[in-house]
Amino acid sequence: MSINTESIEQLVFKFNTGTISAAELQVLQDWYNSHDDTQVSIFTKADETNDQVKSRMLENLMARIAEDQSQPVKQQRLWLRITLVAAAVTAIVFGIWFFSVQDTNVRHPELVSGPQDVAPGGNKATLTLQDGRNINLSSSQTGIVTGDEITYANGTPVENTGLNERSEVQKLILHTPRGGTYTITLQDGTQVWLNAASTIKYPSRFGTSARMVELEGEAYFKVKPIYNQKGEKIPFKVISDQQVVEVLGTQFNMNTYTNQPFSKTTLVEGKVSINDRSGNFTLTPGEQATTASGKTNVKKVEVGNYTAWRDGKFSFDGKTFEETMNDIARWYDLHVVYENGIPEEELAGDAYRNQNIRFVLRLLDVAEIDYKLDVANRKLTIKGKKNRM
């Protein structure tokens, strides 16, 4: 059977989120059963403990993951990737064992946070109307759509907005808390994915000369090109504290949290114009503009490292230690304290964001960073590099 590691990771993600189909689960099982160890099978005897199953499966899974690495990387990076993917697989091993022993129908055991763990974030957002009313949006939905009325992505109306009762343009605000994410389709068809602790301010409908929104935090934009009566494209602008991004139709990621000293815009496709206090910069796909203290620098980057969150993943490559910890803290709603300053260590690898915090913190163990997690107070203390005896 020919299937790449990325496809398997997607199936692992679907299993953990309860969206895997019976056919996809069979693919996952077949992938594992293609190992040389013919004695190992996902379907097991009821008298075998889940620890025994996990031990045997992980040994072979890690070997298979190592074999599937197509790009040469440094040994530490390779080990970290194997560790994080194996951690994700560990989460499903007991689920598959439970499924196999208990029932032959497809079942998806829920991920439960124990007393010594921190659960990941989820679909959480608040919609603020022009009259000041706040509407807590459904956590069972992934996003909203703005049109003649405001609906959820599945077409269900968002109650009590009163948008269809007013003819004038309304100023709306969508806010995600720490540990929250949500999507929005704007009136022009532009799609926006909002990351944790982020806010977008936008009108209920756009004018014919320009489209403008304001952003604090992080968002991924897929801008729909719109034309006026003269056949000219109507520009779309995203305004933040340090940058104004102008586009005509493109996809890009914008990171502009107010508690960090920089704003970053990463272009996926199309073309954008970045304006700061000093001038104007044009980005082409694969470029990133970083603005700090009114000055902007443009460089080539691996785009996937900065858009992985939209697909439910962390990517630690190409980021400082502090940036990585900020990403983790916002998603798990943690307060990070540096006991002896911020380590200069650069972490590498990736992990799915639907895992409990213990899985993600494995990267600190691999990097030999000493830390303490206070679950009750949602506090993560970074003590520094471990002392080698």
DSSP string across 80-108? HHHHHHHHHHHHHHHHHHHHHHH-SS---
134 and 89 in one domain? no
Asked if 176 contacts 333 with a C-beta cutoff of 8 angstroms, the reply is no
pLDDT-based confidence at residue 294 (cuts at 50, 70, 90) = confident
pLDDT-based confidence at residue 268 (cuts at 50, 70, 90) = very high
Asked if 68 contacts 5 with a C-beta cutoff of 8 angstroms, the reply is yes
Report how many domains make up the chain: 3
215 and 130 in one domain? yes
Asked if residue 127 belongs to a domain, the reply is: yes
DSSP letter for 112, please: -
Across the range 362-377, mean pLDDT stands at: 89
Across the range 59-67, mean pLDDT stands at: 48
The CATH number of residue 337's host domain is 3.55.50.30
Asked if residue 165 belongs to a domain, the reply is: yes
Asked if residue 303 belongs to a domain, the reply is: no
Q: In 339-389, which ranges are E strands?
A: 350-352, 369-374, 379-385
Asked if residue 305 belongs to a domain, the reply is: no
**Domain stops at, among 58, 73, 102:** 102
Is 233 a residue whose pLDDT tops 70?
yes
Share of the chain above pLDDT 90, in %: 50
Tell me which residue of 309, 310, 329 sits closest to 321, measured CA to CA.
329
217 and 150 in one domain? yes
* Integer Cα distance of 277 and 226 in angstroms: 28
- Give the pLDDT of residue 349: 80
Asked if residue 297 belongs to a domain, the reply is: no
256 and 137 in one domain? yes
Reported as a single tens digit per residue, the pLDDT across 120-152 is 999 999 999 999 999 999 999 999 999 989 999
The CATH number of residue 135's host domain is 2.60.120.1440
Is 115 a residue whose pLDDT tops 70?
no
* Integer Cα distance of 160 and 381 in angstroms: 43
* Integer Cα distance of 8 and 87 in angstroms: 14
126 and 241 in one domain? yes
Chain mean pLDDT for the chain: 79
**Domain stops at, among 43, 71, 102:** 102
92 and 218 in one domain? no
Reported as a single tens digit per residue, the pLDDT across 176-232 is 999 999 999 999 999 999 999 999 999 999 988 899 999 999 999 999 999 988 888
* Integer Cα distance of 146 and 185 in angstroms: 6
- Give the pLDDT of residue 235: 93
Residues 6+ apart with CB under 8 A from 246: 235, 236, 237, 272, 273, 275
Alpha helices in the chain (DSSP H): 5-17, 22-33, 50-67, 75-102, 304-307, 321-332, 357-360, 362-366
Asked if residue 274 belongs to a domain, the reply is: no
pTM for the full predicted model = 0.74
Asked if residue 154 belongs to a domain, the reply is: yes
Q: Is 30 helix (H, G, I), strand (E, B) or coil?
A: helix
256 and 340 in one domain? no
* Helix axes of 75-102 and 50-67: crossing angle, nearest 10 degrees: 140
* Integer Cα distance of 346 and 320 in angstroms: 6
160 and 213 in one domain? yes
93 and 43 in one domain? yes
252 and 169 in one domain? yes
Neighbours of 142 (CB within 10 A): 17
182 and 153 in one domain? yes
128 and 252 in one domain? yes
* Integer Cα distance of 77 and 307 in angstroms: 20
Reported as a single tens digit per residue, the pLDDT across 247-258 is 977 999 999 999
- Give the pLDDT of residue 73: 46
Q: What residues make up the domain containing 326?
A: 312-385
Reported as a single tens digit per residue, the pLDDT across 29-39 is 666 555 443 33
Tell me which residue of 279, 333, 301 sits closest to 120, measured CA to CA.
333
Asked if residue 184 belongs to a domain, the reply is: yes
Asked if 340 contacts 370 with a C-beta cutoff of 8 angstroms, the reply is no
**Residues, the chain:** 389
- Give the pLDDT of residue 21: 72
* Integer Cα distance of 341 and 331 in angstroms: 22
